[in-house]
Amino acid sequence: MLQDLTYKYYRKLNAKTVYLVLRGGGPEGIETPFISNIINSLTATGSSVFGFNFPYCERGEENSSGEELAEETAALDKVVQFLRSEGYEKIIIVVKPLGGITTSYWLDQHAGEDVDVVVLGGIIGSVKTKALPDKLRLVIQGENDRFGNAEAVKAELNKHNVTADVVEVPKADHSYRNEQKEPVYQDQTVEQLIQKVADL
């Protein structure tokens, strides 16, 4: 079923919850140090963890398949259905940039899906926010994120009646780096993620 995807799957015996980790933007996918750190940290929660690359990453391409993200949403749907077949009671989707946009497009097409969504670095204006009510649980946003800080995210969510916990990482940019582009706030972000998802 998943033979055309690159993925990492930590299957915890008897786990009822699975974290589905998505990253977009660039050809590296889940192999980046930050995403690997997230996946490894989530495995310590006692839940299963699944991360996969969108097909364009495997082709070595920088960008997604197009405006409607048809290839990406199809891949996401395939993985969600696979995880449902594994018997999980709860799916928590943890997303970074394009992963968040893709998830919102997918939810716009599959409004009845019962999932929780956590966004690391919201991209205001590109995400279909109207598809997120009752799904979005947490946003962790850098204070210096080029797409907007926590207050900007809250304003966008309020426009669409979306209620979520929005946490700001002081001095961090969109990738949780400092002004010298050093990833000094990434560990702090992962720690906050682990603390917050424990309550979902």
Percent of the chain surpassing pLDDT 90: 80
From the list 47, 40, 33, the residue with the least C-alpha distance to 8 is: 40
pLDDT reported for residue 68:
81
CA distance 44 to 194: 9
Look at residue 12 in the predicted model and tell me its pLDDT. 97
Enumerate the β-bridge partners of residue 141: 168
Token pair 């690359």 in the structure block, residue: 53
Q: Which residues of 135-165 are buried (b: 16+ CB within 10 A; e: fewer)?
A: bbbbbbbbebbebbbbeebbebbeeeebebe
The per-residue pLDDT for range 157-182, each reduced to its tens digit, is: 999 999 999 999 999 999 999 999 99
Q: What pLDDT, on a 0 to 100 scale, did the predictor assign at position 27?
A: 67
Q: Give tens-digit pLDDT for 92-114.
A: 999 998 889 999 999 999 989 99
pLDDT value for 84:
97
pTM of this structure: 0.94
* Lookup: tokens for 123: 């991209």
Q: Enter the DSSP assignment of 52.
A: E
105 contact partners, CB below 8 Å, separation of at least 6: 68, 69, 72, 73, 128, 131
> Residue 39 has what DSSP assignment?
H
Q: What residues form DSSP beta bridges with 90?
A: 17
**Tell me: the pLDDT tens digits for 4-18?**
999 999 999 999 999
> Which 8-state DSSP code applies to residue 114?
-
Specify the higher pLDDT residue, 192 or 97: 192
pLDDT at res. 176: 96
pLDDT tens digits along 39-91: 999 999 999 999 999 888 878 777 776 778 889 999 999 999 999 999 999 99
